[in-house]
Every structure is written in structure tokens, then in C-alpha cells.
Amino acid sequence: MTAKRDAPRACLLLAGMKERETEWLHAFSIQAPDMRIIHEDEIDAPENIDYCLIWRQRPGLLARLVRLKAVFSLGAGVDALLSDPSIPEWLPIIRMAEPGLTEGMVEYILWQTLFHHRRIWELIEAQRRKEWRPHNYPAPWDRRVGVMGLGVLGKAVALKLAAFGFSVSGWSRSAKEIPGVLCYNGRTELASFLETAEILICLLPLTVETRGILGARLFAQLPPGASLVNAARGAHLVEEDLLEALRVSHLSAATLDVFNEEPLPPTHPFWKHPRIFITPHNASITDPETAIAEICRQIARLEGGLAPEHTASRARDY
């Protein structure tokens, strides 16, 4: 880890970081030694705090910080911050967009795409039965993968899958041009996007428009035998619709990293489902080293009178 001698002299509050706090405090002390870092239980002078880096926020906390210039979200998804009415509307909310988080997601989705492409679960099940059962699978270019959301993460994922050789399409709100990726946008093009998506990857933000989007209606538009990978938010998925689509074998399998209730309760039917593969909301993790470099860059922009980048928009809801 390298020290950033040009890191700005600001006062930054770390809030809602839980078990990751020690790691972050250490990283700030090395990379931004001139920055004053305050812990949320030690706020003696709220009027001295310039910035806040936050994950699971305590409602109302930010309203007390009268000098706050911007809020940094520890994660890329800002649904929880945008739904906190106590955060003043004028306060910039900066989404986490940093190379460590992006690369982690690219790696996770490539892993899961290969898992579903090769139907690895069939091999695992055969091994348990001590059965030697080679099965066929298409070449990557004959496998059509659909990426929902072509933002910071979805675009990087789509480019990697295309470079790997998969036949990739993507869907976003506004029109896009991404080399090697067939791009669709808006509700009117959703059906055309879905009808070829044999492996569907969700990397959408959670908004009023996208809540519950992974439901019976959408599943019916996927080709029979399709797989789902949801690494966005649990509330994108209608859980009972997934169970039904798997029961009737319209969908083959699903990988879920995110859930309506986290941690997933021990009694939840997903745990024991033979075709649902669970990871505990760690598809990707913000990397303190690369993220602090990005936070310092954004603070330098703000202190220099420039608008921050990757800000959430209340009008768009992401």
C-alpha cells in the first residue's frame, strides 16, 4: 500500500462500516495521513465534518452534520441512501466507482457465467453418485449472455464476457454503443433483449422502476432452460416466481448473491434448493486501497470547485 502525500486535509466521518472499520482506518492512515478520520461514536463537533463515507447509515445521522459537502457511499448501490428522507436534497451522494469493486464483479460474473454455461452442478451431482457422465455444452460464442444494466459494472462485465468469446447483449435505460455487445434500451426493447438471454445477469440499481423486475413476466420471456445470476439487490427478485419457474423447469438454475433479507434466514427455502446457488452478498467488495485513491481524487475535485463524478440522481432514483 503506498502513501498518498497529496491527499486532501479534510475531516471525514466513517459511518456504518461495522466489521470493516479497522481495515479502513488503517488504510486511511497510510494513504491519506493528513485527513482527519472520525468514528461515528466519537462525533464531538459535527460542524467540523466535511465528508462522510457510509454504508449502513443510522437514520438521521447525516442531518446533524451541518458542514457536510458530500457523502461517499461505500457501495455502488445507493438505494438505502436515496430512501433516507433526512439526507438534504442538495447534498451530493457519490456512488462508489473504483477499479477494485469493478474487477471483483467482473471476476464473479465470469465465474458464474462459466458455471452456468458448463452446468457445473450436473458434474457435482454426478460425482456424488459416483457416476462418470460427460455432458455436452456449446462453444462460448454459441452461448448468449444478457447483462441487465450497462453502467460502471455492467459495461465492464459485458466487455469481459465478449472478450472471453461469449455472445453478449446488454440492456440499459439510455442507448449505448459498446464494442462487441448488442445493446438494447428501454422497456420497448426489453422483450427482444430477453428472448435470446440464455444466461441472464442482473446488475441494475434498485429503483422504483426495477424493484421486482425479476419476476414471472420476465422469466416467461427468457428462452426455456435459461439461468439467472442476480448480483444487484434482493428486491429485484420476486422469490416465489423464481421458485415456480425452477419447479416447472422453465429456468434451469440461479445464482443469487443478494436477498430481500440478509443474512438469508436459516429456514429460507433457497438454502436447500438443488438449483439455487448462494453467495453471501460478496460478489464484489470495495477495496480500501483503490477506493481511498478515488475518494481523495473526488475530494480534490470538490475542493477545487469542480462537480464530483458518479453522483446519484434523485430524479433517476440511482
List 2, 22, 136, 174, residue binding ligand NDP (CB under 6 A): 174
Smallest gap, in angstroms, from Cβ of residue 193 to ligand OXD? 23
With beta carbons less than 8 A apart as the criterion, state whether 312 and 97 touch.
no
Supply angle C-alpha 95, 78, 59, rounded to 5.
120
8: contact with ligand NDP by CB under 6 A: no
242: contact with ligand NDP by CB under 6 A: no
Q: CB 205: neighbour CB atoms within 10 A?
A: 23
d(CA 238, CA 257): 14
288: contact with ligand NDP by CB under 6 A: no
281: contact with ligand NDP by CB under 6 A: yes
205: contact with ligand NDP by CB under 6 A: yes
Catalytic residues: 233, 281
Smallest gap, in angstroms, from Cβ of residue 74 to ligand NDP? 10
Q: Cα-flanking dihedrals φ and ψ of residue 115, to 5°?
A: -60, -45
**Per-residue binder mask for ligand NDP (CB under 6 A), 105-144, x = binder:** x---------------------------------------
List 52, 76, 145, 200, residue binding ligand OXD (CB under 6 A): 76
Per CB under 6 A, which of residues 79..118 are in contact with ligand OXD?
96
List 8, 75, 149, 170, residue binding ligand OXD (CB under 6 A): 75
With beta carbons less than 8 A apart as the criterion, state whether 148 and 166 touch.
no
Secondary structure (H, E, C), 104-137: HHHHHHHHHHHHHHCCHHHHHHHHHCCCCCCCCC
Q: Dihedral sign, CA of 240, 195, 256, 78?
A: negative
Question: Whose Cβ is closer to ligand OXD: residue 62's or residue 76's?
Answer: 76
List 8, 57, 77, 149, residue binding ligand OXD (CB under 6 A): 77
Question: Whose Cβ is closer to ligand NDP: residue 8's or residue 288's?
Answer: 288
List, in sequence order, every beta strand (DSSP E) within 165-308: 167-172, 181-185, 199-202, 226-230, 251-256, 276-278
d(CA 225, CA 202): 17
Binding site for ligand NDP (CB under 6 A): 75-77, 97, 101, 105, 149-154, 171-174, 203-207, 209-210, 231-233, 257-258, 281, 283-284, 318
